Structure 1
Amino acid sequence: MQEFMANLDMYMLLLLFFAALVAGFVDSIAGGGGMITLPVLLLAGVSPLQALATNKLQSSFGSFSATLHFYKKGYINLKSNIPFAIIAFVFSAIGTISVQFIQTEFLSKILPFLVLVFGLYFLFSPSIKEVERTEKLNKAYLSLAIAAVGFYDGFFGPGTGSFFMLALIIIGGFGVTQSLGQAKLYNFSTNLASLIFFAIGGHMLWGIGLLMALGQFIGANLGSRMAIRYGIRIVKPLVVTISFIMAAKLLYEQF
C-alpha cells in the first residue's frame, strides 16, 4: 500500500483529496458522493474492489461528520434512531458479505431508473416539505425499508443516502432536514459495517482512504451546515439535480 501511494504524484493525491471534499459536501445534502470519488479512485489506478473498499473508508468519515453536526443541532434523537441504525448496520454487513458471491449486473441495469424515479418524486411530490406530517405509518414498515436500503448499500451502494431520505419522508413522515439528518446516521452505520468487512477481507488502501477521509470530513461538515441553514430551499434542488446527473451517468456507462 505504501508502495502504491509512493507511485502517485502530488497532483493525483490533491485530486483525491479535493474530490473527497466535494463529494462530502454533495453527499451530506443530496447523496451520490460516491459518483465523484469512485471514478477518481479508478483513475488513480486502484483496482475496482480496492476502490469500493477505500471508498467506504473515506465516506464513513463524511457520514460521521454530517451525523455529528445534525446531532449537535438537534435533528437526531439517538434513543429513537439507534434501533434503526442497528438494523441498517446488520443488513449492510449481510449485503457486503453477499456481494462477494453474487453478481451485481441486474442492479446496475435498474439503478438508473430507480434514481430517476427518486429525482422525479422529489421534484413533483407535494409531500416533500420542511415540516413533519402529523400522521406516521407503522414503524415496522420503516424498519423493513431501512433493512432493504442497508442491504443495498452493502451489496451495491450508489444513492444510498437518497433512498434513506425517501423512506423517511414517505414512510416515516419526517420533514426534509429531519430526514436528511437521520439518513446520515443510518448511512454512517451502513458505511461502518461495509468498512469492517472490507477491511477483514484485506482490500483497504488505508493511506489513500485516510487522506480522502480528511477531505470528506471537511466537505460533509460544510454541506450539513448549508442544509440546516437553508433547508428545503437548497436540499430539494440539489437532490433533484444530483439524481438526474447520477441517472444520466449510469445510463451512459451502460449504453
Structure 2
Amino acid sequence: MLDPFQIELWLYPALTCVAVVSGFVDAVAGGGGLVMMPILLSTNLPPHVVLGTNKVQSMCGTSVATWRYHKAGLFSFRENAPLAAVVFVGALLGTLAIQRLSADVLKLVVPALLISVALYTMLSRSMTDEDRKPVIGETEYKAVAGGIGLYDGFFGPGAGQFFATTLVALRGYGLTRATGLTKFLNVTSNIASVIVFTIGGQALWVLGLCMGLGSMTGAWIGSHFATKFGAKMIRPLLVVVSLGLTGRLIWGWFAA
C-alpha cells in the first residue's frame, strides 16, 4: 500500500479545490476527469494510482449528484437496479482489464466517438427535456450500458456523455432525466472500479476522500443548477466537455 503522505501536503487542499470544479462539471455534463486527471498526473503518482484515487473522489461526487437527481424525481433506484447491476459487472471487468492491458487503442477510437456525441448534441432535435418513443427496449439497452460500464472501468473519459447520449437517442429520455440516470450508472461503475483498485492497493484513500469533499460540493451545486435550468444548461456544457475531452486526448498523442 502506498504512503498517503508521499505527495506534498499543500497538494491536499489544492486538489480539493480543483475537485469542486470537477464535481460541478461532472454533475451537469459528465467529464469531470477532464479537469482533474491532468492535474493529478502532474503529481508524478503512478498512472494506476492516479486512476484509482480519481475514482475515489469521483465516487463521492457522483453519489451526491445521484441523490440530488433522485430526490428531484428524475429516476427510480428500484426500477433501474437491474441496469445498474449490468453496469457494475461491466466496470469490474473493465477495471481488471486495464491493470493488464494497454488502453492505447481506445486513445485512437474515443476522440471520434466524442466528436460524434458533440455533433449529435448540437444538431439533434432530441436533445431537449421532452421524452420520446424508445428506439430499443430496456433489455436491449442493458447490452449498451454494460459496454459503456466496461469502457468506464477500462479507460473512462466520456463515459458520462455516452450514457446520457444513448439514453436520449435509444431510450427516448429527455436530456435532464437522462443526466439523472447517468449519474446513478456512473456512481455504480465508480464503486466497482474503486473496489478493484483498493484491493490492488492502487488508491490513495486519504487524498481521494479530501478531493471527494470538494467533488461532493461541486456536485451538489452542479446538480442543483442542472435540475433548475434543464437542457438549456446541460446541452451546451455537454458539447463543450465532449470537445474538451477530445482535444485533451488528441493532445496526449503529441505530448506522449
* TM value normalised by structure 1: 0.96
Cα RMSD for the two superposed structures: 1.4
In structure 2, list runs of 5 or more residues that go unmatched.
Answer: none
Point out the more displaced range, 56-65 or 136-145: 136-145
Structure 2 distance, partners of 1:132, 1:159, is: 23
Match of 2:182 in 1: 183
**Distance apart, 1:99 and its partner CA:** 1.4
Partner in structure 2 of residue 98 of structure 1: 97
- Does the residue aligned with 1:140 lie in a helix, a strand or coil? helix
Q: Where does residue 8 of structure 2 map in the other structure?
A: 8
Q: CA deviation at 1:85?
A: 0.6
**1:2–1:207 Cα contact (<8 Å) kept:** no
Distance in structure 1 (CA, Å) of the matches to 2:102 and 2:3? 31
By how many angstroms is 1:174 displaced? 0.4
2:145 counterpart of 1:164: no
Number of the residue aligned with 1:149: 148
Structure 2 counterpart of 1:57, one-letter code: V
**One-letter code aligned to 2:40:** L
How many equivalent residue pairs? Answer: 254
Give SS of 1:86's match. Answer: helix
CA drift of 1:234 comes to 0.5
Tell me, in whole angstroms, the C-alpha distance in 1 between the residues paired with 2:128 and 2:67.
23
CA contact (8 A) 2:134 2:170 kept: no
* 1:72-113 deviation line (CA, Å, top 9, x unaligned): 111111221111011100110011111122221100111111
Q: 1:31 aligned to 2:15?
A: no
**In the TM superposition, what are the counterparts of 1:105-254 in structure 2 within 5 Å?**
105-254=104-253
Q: Which runs of 5+ in 1 are unaligned?
A: none
CA drift at 1:40: 1.4
Equivalent pair of 2:175/2:231 in contact (CA under 8 Å): yes
1-structure distance, mates of 2:64, 2:232: 22
Are 2:42 and 1:43 aligned? yes
Q: How many angstroms does 1:209 deviate by?
A: 0.4
Q: Measured at CA, do residues 145 and 49 of structure 1 come closer, stay the same or move farther in structure 2, by a change above 3 Å?
A: same
Amino acid of the structure 2 residue aligned with 1:27: D
**SS state of the match for residue 147, structure 2?**
helix
> Would you say 1:53 and 2:52 are equivalent positions?
yes
Distance 2:134 2:9 in 1: 55
Asked if the contact 1:141/1:171 (under 8 Å) is kept, the reply is no
Question: Which has the higher mean CA deviation after the structures are superposed, 223-232 or 92-101?
Answer: 92-101
SS at match of 2:177: helix
Secondary structure of the corresponding residue to residue 202 of structure 2: coil
Measure how far apart 1:136 and its partner are: 4.9
Q: Matched residues in 2 for 1:185 and 1:9: separation?
A: 33
- Percent sequence identity over matched residues? 35
Which runs of structure 1 show a deviation greater than 4 angstroms over 4 or more consecutive aligned residues? 1-4
| Offset at residue 5 of structure 1 (A) | 2.4
- Asked if the contact 1:130–1:231 (Cα under 8 Å) also holds between the matched residues in 2, the reply is yes
